Amino acid sequence: MAAGRSGQTATRRRGSRSAGNSGSQRRGELLGIAAELFARRGYAETTVRDIADEAGILSGSLYHHFSSKEEMLDEILRDFLDPLLERFIAIEAEGTHPEEVLDELIRHSFAAIHASPVAVALYQNELTMLHRQPAFEHVGEIGDKIEKIWLSVLKAGQKSGVFRADVDINLSYRFIRDAIWSTVRWYRPRGKYKHEAVAVQFLTVIHGGLHTS
Amino acid sequence: MAAGRSGQTATRRRGSRSAGNSGSQRRGELLGIAAELFARRGYAETTVRDIADEAGILSGSLYHHFSSKEEMLDEILRDFLDPLLERFIAIEAEGTHPEEVLDELIRHSFAAIHASPVAVALYQNELTMLHRQPAFEHVGEIGDKIEKIWLSVLKAGQKSGVFRADVDINLSYRFIRDAIWSTVRWYRPRGKYKHEAVAVQFLTVIHGGLHTS
Amino acid sequence: MAAGRSGQTATRRRGSRSAGNSGSQRRGELLGIAAELFARRGYAETTVRDIADEAGILSGSLYHHFSSKEEMLDEILRDFLDPLLERFIAIEAEGTHPEEVLDELIRHSFAAIHASPVAVALYQNELTMLHRQPAFEHVGEIGDKIEKIWLSVLKAGQKSGVFRADVDINLSYRFIRDAIWSTVRWYRPRGKYKHEAVAVQFLTVIHGGLHTS
Amino acid sequence: MAAGRSGQTATRRRGSRSAGNSGSQRRGELLGIAAELFARRGYAETTVRDIADEAGILSGSLYHHFSSKEEMLDEILRDFLDPLLERFIAIEAEGTHPEEVLDELIRHSFAAIHASPVAVALYQNELTMLHRQPAFEHVGEIGDKIEKIWLSVLKAGQKSGVFRADVDINLSYRFIRDAIWSTVRWYRPRGKYKHEAVAVQFLTVIHGGLHTS
DNA sequence: CATGAATGAGTCTTCATTCAT
DNA sequence: TATGAATGAAGACTCATTCAT
């Protein structure tokens, strides 16, 4: 998806108009540019003119593709969150033991950060704002569904005895969730840490803690 | 900042007597109001009029106390970060065993979230923006110093054998840091979770992990 | 200017595509309106709203064509000063005898006042302010080049004996310069004094003085 | 008068309040400060706070001495213009031959620039603005009276044959007036040019012109 | 599809002035 | 006389959005 464009600089595409680019292709390009800017500078701090400049067109021209700046944000988030939720549902459905499911949820989360750093960053940074906007209820709902999956796995594991009984599941979930998704702030897809290695390290700490013996 | 420019042509130099004596009661009140709004809505999304409205004065009157919106943010962050760093330095200095120092750093962090939720939220939310603004170098520097303290404690613990050798210290530090400070997003000072209890839960997971045996 | 800085927090970089293509008809019209108001009321005393009102648009719309009020002033001055310097250079290059060159410089100066009274008035009135603004170094540089031309002509004339030896060239230059350009304060292009007549009168006094024999 | 203060920097006078400074003395000091700032930065560009800062008080406190910023300007101009007009009247009354009177008017003008550079600069820079403000009619009237004196002297000289008949008196007056008073822009009271020497140079050119023979 | 011009509401900031203490 | 807090009107500039061409 669009999130992969991170690191691309302004390229003028004026000439390429001649070929029969389908409307939806151009739309995708514009969304990619917007996503990157939103993630980098923040949604409110990014102007439609910033986006248009980067795309090599005038800001008014963006409105041939999108009816508002908000629509762009909505589409970007949807493109990221819908598949993410689907995947989480599948992981839960396919797994048998809670500890295996949890590990897989964690592994996929780091993979998602690797695949769509821009969308993840955007989602993380704008969460508070999104919760205040009724137009983004949809986003909150997906978040709730995801939370339910994680919590049910954790509870199942605690019930079956693989997870310790003396930890508060709600608190633990939040610690885990925040630790995972916050990595987007420093993780670089082409950096020295591979996402699989980060996941392994995280699983190590979560499984047995930091202390020896 | 970009504002300004600001914008007049004539060059001005406002002497030593900067707007508002640093030690003023009213100033403190206004800072409190600003901090809360900044934390709730975000710095850029909070207008000086919002702040003035809440204070019951006109927006222009704020400039009797502060020379800019930015100055407010700077002072709020400084008032929080300077004592925090000092406290971390003291904890490291007083402690003897790395595992005790780490626990105390963690406990104090949750206590700080409890004591200054607004400032912590503000700091968390605006971090990315602050890093781009040269005017807030100071903030970044304090962050670096804090990071050094935590990393040195973790390294010492690994060297002395109390922390596992198979975890990457840099990664673990980031997991811990992010998990702790992200709690500000849901922690309520008067809510059902006491900050000491949250700290205990966190320490439990960090010490021995989530899994049994 | 107050705008400033205008005043947002996020750092922006508006690419090469600066506001408004340099070669636009509307742009020229707006510059003409601005120039007149600047000359009449003074630059600082003229608001962008004044300009917009006169143009029949809203003040914000001006920023579609210019990125700042200052840019307008800069362009107006440049449009006047660049050709003026070129012309002075040509006059010096073409002339043979210093006294002829001086007369021609003087005649052209009055012609310039006639042709561009607004720009001349603007330049005269804002000189002191322009010297304080680093953004207008360019203007000062052109002024210096023009001064060099006049002084070299005067010195040449004194050396060749056509100008009196008992006058200080630097002082005389300033007297002449100020007397000429100050006429813009009262000269009216469609008034009873033709600019050629004013030049003749001025040359008469400069050549032989006010006293008889 | 106050104009002599040019080049003085901000000095706090807080302590000197103990001695029995008469109110009018403080008033004079404040006017001096204001005059200098008005002359240097322009009236509109100088804020009451600039003046207060320089005087070591708060801007609101200025209103114990003056009822408005405009009143300060008015008083400064009056303090300069009233004696100037009186002196010009005296010079005309005392003189016998027009050529002597003109020379004396010129000499005294340069002396006035030397004695009150700040007031002269202020008057020169704000002339256009003053003409638009009904509150400053008074200033315009004095200007008119002064002009009448100069013109009557010039006409008398032309009639008596000491001044050339082929020059337009109105134009010549303006050339002379502008050349003289514009010197305030570059004249420095403690610079290398003495005001008497400048006057002599000017008289030389005016008497016999720039050309030899 | 895109341009170029404009809108209208809003942003931060400035500043002369007032007034209770 | 001076302070310190505030007013209220204005200023430059921003930006999402619209629309005729």
- Domain of residue B85: give its range: 70-208
CA of residue B63 to C1' of nucleotide E17, angstroms: 16
| pLDDT tens sequence across D125-143 | 999 999 989 999 999 999 9
Percent composition of chain B: helix, strand, coil (DSSP 3-state, to 5): 70, 0, 30
Token look-up 């008033």 returns D27
Does residue C211 belong to the interface with chain A, where contact is any CB pair within 8 Å?
no
Does C70 lie at the interface with B, CB-CB under 8 angstroms? yes
**F3 C1': nearest CA residue:** D58
CATH code for the domain in which residue B46 is found = 1.10.10.60
Token readout for A15 is: 């000439």
| Res. A213 pLDDT band, cuts 50 70 90 | confident
Q: Which residues of chain D are within 8 Å of residue B14 when distances are taken between CB atoms?
A: 49, 53
Residue D77 has pLDDT above 50, yes or no: yes
User: Residue B171 sits in a domain of what CATH number?
Assistant: 1.10.357.10
**B60 CB inside 7 Å of strand F:** yes
Q: What is the pLDDT of residues A75-109, one digit of tens each?
A: 999 999 999 999 999 999 999 999 999 999 999 99
**B206: closest CA among B186, B176, B178, B177?**
B176
B166 falls within a domain: yes
Q: What is the pLDDT of residue C21?
A: 46
Residue C193 placed within a domain: yes
Nucleic strand E within 7 A of Cβ A44: no
Number of neighbours of residue B63 by Cβ within 10 angstroms: 15
Task: List all nucleotides in chain E with at least one atom under 7 A from a protein Cβ.
Answer: 1-19
Distance CA A59, CA A48 (A): 6
The answer to whether position A213 is within a domain reads no
Residues A141 and A202 in one domain: yes
Number of C-beta neighbours around residue C81 at 10 A:
19
Domain total for chain B?
2
Q: Clarify whether residues C121 and C88 are in a common domain.
A: yes
Taking only the tens place, the pLDDT of each residue in D28-68 is 999 999 999 999 999 999 999 999 999 999 999 999 999 99
Q: For residues B115 and D189, what is the distance between their CA atoms, to the nearest angstrom? A: 64
Same domain, B43 and B141: no
Reported as a pLDDT band with limits 50, 70 and 90, residue B22 is: low
DSSP conformation letters of B18-68? -SS-SS-HHHHHHHHHHHHHHHHH-TTTS-HHHHHHHHTS-GGGGGGT-S-
Query: Do residues A135 and A92 both lie within one domain?
Result: yes
Q: Would residue B20 count as lying in a domain?
A: no
Quick check: B21 CB within 7 A of strand F? yes
Task: Look up the pTM and report it.
Answer: 0.87
Using DSSP, state whether B4 is helix, strand or coil: strand
Q: Which residues of chain C have pLDDT under 70?
A: 1-23
- Same-domain check for residues D39 and D122: no
Least confident of A140-144, B153-157, D208-212: D208-212
Judgement on whether residues A138 and A117 belong to the same structural domain of the protein: yes
The token pair that represents B195 in the structure block: 């900050």
**A177 by DSSP, 3-state: which?**
helix
DSSP structure class, residue B160: T
* Strand E and B3 CB separated by under 7 Å: yes
Give percent of chain B with pLDDT exceeding 70: 89
Q: Is B3 on the interface with A (CB under 8 A)?
A: no
Q: Is the pLDDT of residue D18 over 60?
A: no
Q: Does D42 touch chain B (CB under 8 A)?
A: yes
C54 touches strand E (CB under 7 A): no
Using DSSP's 3-state secondary structure scheme, residue C38 falls into helix
Same-domain status, A20 and A75: no
For C12, the closest chain A residue by CA position comes to A50
Q: Which of A53, A58, A59, A61 to mutate to test the interface with C (most CBs of C within 10 A)?
A: A53
Asked if residue A126 and residue A49 are part of one domain, the reply reads no
Measure the CA–CA gap between B194 and B189, rounded to whole angstroms: 7
CB A65 within 7 Å, strand F: no
State the angle between helix axes of B25-41 and B117-132 in degrees (0 to 180), rounded to the nearest 10.
70
Partners of residue B11 in chain C, C-beta under 8 Å:
132-133
Would you call D161 an interface residue with chain C, using a CB distance cutoff of 8 Å? yes
Task: Mark whether B39 and B103 lie in a shared domain.
Answer: no
Whether C198 and D171 have beta carbons less than 8 Å apart is answered as: yes
Q: Distance, angstroms, CA B54 to C1' E9?
A: 21
On average, the pLDDT of chain B sits at: 90
**Is there a single domain that holds both residue D100 and residue D121?**
yes
Residue D86 forms part of a structural domain: yes
Q: Are residues C83 and C51 in the same domain?
A: no
Among A40, A131, A36, A113, residue whose Cα is nearest residue A76: A36
Cβ separation C10–A50 shorter than 8 A: no
Instruction: Examine the pLDDT at B186 and tell me if it is beyond 80.
Output: yes
